[in-house]
Structure 1
Amino acid sequence: MQLLNPITAVSLAGLAPHQPGTGEPICERVDPTTLFVDHEYQRTIGEKGRRQIRQIIENFCWTKFKPPICAYAEHEGRTILKVLDGQHTAIAAASNPHISLIPVMIVDAPDTQSQAAAFVGQNTQRLGVTPLQIHQAAVLAQEENALDVQNVCNRAGVRVLHCLPGSGRYKPGDTIAIAAIRGLVSRRTSMGARVILGVLAKAHLAPITALHIKAADYLMSDKDLSLKFDPEDLTKAIGDLYLTAEDEARVQAKTMRIPEWRALAMIWFRKTKKKRQVMRLVA
């Protein structure tokens, strides 16, 4: 016997249901070649994405089809539909000669900020969308936490990339470690995080990694170690050891059975010029 469960409401105890601030979505059938993608907050299609599109084309089936989420927007004096979520599906449909129209769901998001916010909402709990893309969209959506993180990075001289560099080459100050930076800002406040990231940026690391951030955070936040050096001297030590410190830390971490970031911090600390200790004479 087939077991079916009806959709029933859950208990609202302790919840404060939110009343939607926009109209409900509408569904339309459109020509997929008339849709647009805004790369201010959406990634461009790479080789992995192209493979995914080819797979969708070769296995296209309406039972597996998820309508793209779109929003009306103004572009060069005319009204268009932007794809907020589902660009791979839309491209696959546009490429398939057997498909002329597809259903799309159109939400009420008239400007880039609200469209970016919709993108964040659609993808925050979905696999396949990177933290970098979520961060960029959240910045465009003017989300407070994302703006704080971005401002900290800007003032520290750290450039958060939107995606991995196509050439694989990073420039000094580049980073993709957005999760580590968010954690740093949360732990050390915006001002503290800016100082720590500034030390790393001035060392011309390319890129600044989560490993670097944890090691610098440890040294500059420890109440004893942080008193023994000036930040600019730590920057110099990091820069001087740039080509060797991480390999040495990897070996040392395995030998001493400690986290790699702690081993890296110890290596940096040993190289850093220490402040002169003023001895008190007791009469």
Structure 2
Amino acid sequence: MSTTSFPDPGDVPVLDWLDVNLISADPLYQRPLDQARVDSILHAFTWRSFGALVVVPQADGSYHATDGQHRLEAAKLHPMVSFVPAVIVKTEDIQSEASIFVEINASRKNVSGLELFFAKLAADDDDAETIRQVCERAGVRIPKYPSAGFKPGDCIAIAAIQAVVGRRGAMRARQYLEVLAKADLAPITATHLKAVEFLMTDPEFGGVVEAEDLTATILAMNGGAEAEAKRFAATHGCPVWKGLASTWFQRCRKRRKAA
């Protein structure tokens, strides 16, 4: 038998349904309310993803929400919701109450964009499937476990890919990713993708840089463009992706614009 000792877990909490009007968030330790987040929860409200609030009973019969204030506010605004599920935890004072908030949030791991992508893919989400197809056709791999190390052509910049698909369409997004995949970048980042999109679409550069020439330039620079891009960005006060686009452009073969 193991001799490892564990802390006393304390009293077992009670799970109950509570009137939303009896619950509030104490501003002494709670974060400022993000109304946009509340609205997002409200307009996609569903019990199966609501979960349970964590609340602490007060002397006057009300409750303080130590976890779930945005879900609480969305529930209060929903015309069909009067009661919410809650885990009721007793504390001795406001300091103990605040410590629950700290403990919950200190140990909480936010879902990353990559984790959310694979979850959406499993749920047959159309946008996630589009991203998967775009990457597959471009020769880009989206690694599920990037902690194992990146290989050439790997990319976890899901939000950046989705943004390009939204702005330019799936075909253009595939073309831009293909430029980077063939350049053996490991990994392909949002900065790389923004730089390629800029070079291929901005009137200042459009029409004089071909995809295969850009790939050849990136390969030839062998990662050296990153440091130059940062210096350019610092000197000119622009984003690093613009500095990278300029760095690549300076080294890249130029083609005559079509008349």
TM-score range, shorter chain: 0.5 to 0.7
Change (3 A) 1:5 1:212: same
Question: How far did residue 258 of structure 1 move?
Answer: 1.2
The residue that corresponds to 1:251 in the other structure is 231
Structure 1 residue 151 corresponds to structure 2 residue 158: no
Identical aligned residues as a percent: 42
244, 253, 258: which one aligns with 1:273: 253
State the SS of the aligned residue for 1:136. helix
State the SS of the aligned residue for 2:213. helix
Structure 1 residue 211 corresponds to structure 2 residue 227: no
Figure out how many residues of one structure are paired with residues of the other and give that number. 169
Q: Extract unaligned runs of 5+ from structure 2.
A: 1-19, 24-41, 52-87, 91-107
Question: How far did residue 242 of structure 1 move?
Answer: 2.8
The residue that corresponds to 2:70 in the other structure is none
The residue that corresponds to 1:199 in the other structure is 179
Structure 1 residue 139 corresponds to structure 2 residue 155: no
186, 210, 231: which one aligns with 2:211: 231
Question: How far did residue 276 of structure 1 move?
Answer: 3.9
- Normalising by structure 1, we get a TM-score of 0.53
2:21 aligned partner, one-letter code? N
Give distance in 2, aligned partners of 1:172 and 1:17: 38
Cα displacement string for residues 173-200 of structure 1 (whole angstroms, at most 9, x for unaligned residues):
0011111111111111001100011111
Contact 1:253 1:259 in 2 (8 A): yes
Give distance in 1, aligned partners of 2:127 and 2:252: 33
Change (3 A) 1:258 1:142: same
Q: Extract unaligned runs of 5+ from structure 1.
A: 8-14, 26-61, 65-125
Change (3 A) 1:254 1:143: same
126, 146, 155: which one aligns with 1:164: 146
Contact 2:199 2:209 in 1 (8 A): no
Change (3 A) 1:17 1:229: closer
1:138 aligned partner, one-letter code? K
State the SS of the aligned residue for 1:151. helix
The residue that corresponds to 1:45 in the other structure is none
The residue that corresponds to 1:58 in the other structure is none
Contact 1:132 1:163 in 2 (8 A): no
Give distance in 1, aligned partners of 2:207 and 2:219: 20
The residue that corresponds to 1:262 in the other structure is 242
Contact 1:215 1:261 in 2 (8 A): yes
Give distance in 2, aligned partners of 1:237 and 1:177: 22
Change (3 A) 1:268 1:164: same
Give distance in 2, aligned partners of 1:171 and 1:196: 18
Question: How far did residue 238 of structure 1 move?
Answer: 1.1
Superposition CA RMSD, Å:
3.2
126, 129, 133: which one aligns with 2:111: 129
Give distance in 2, aligned partners of 1:170 and 1:16: 38
State the SS of the aligned residue for 1:227. coil
Change (3 A) 1:63 1:187: same
The residue that corresponds to 1:179 in the other structure is 159
Question: How far did residue 230 of structure 1 move?
Answer: 1.4
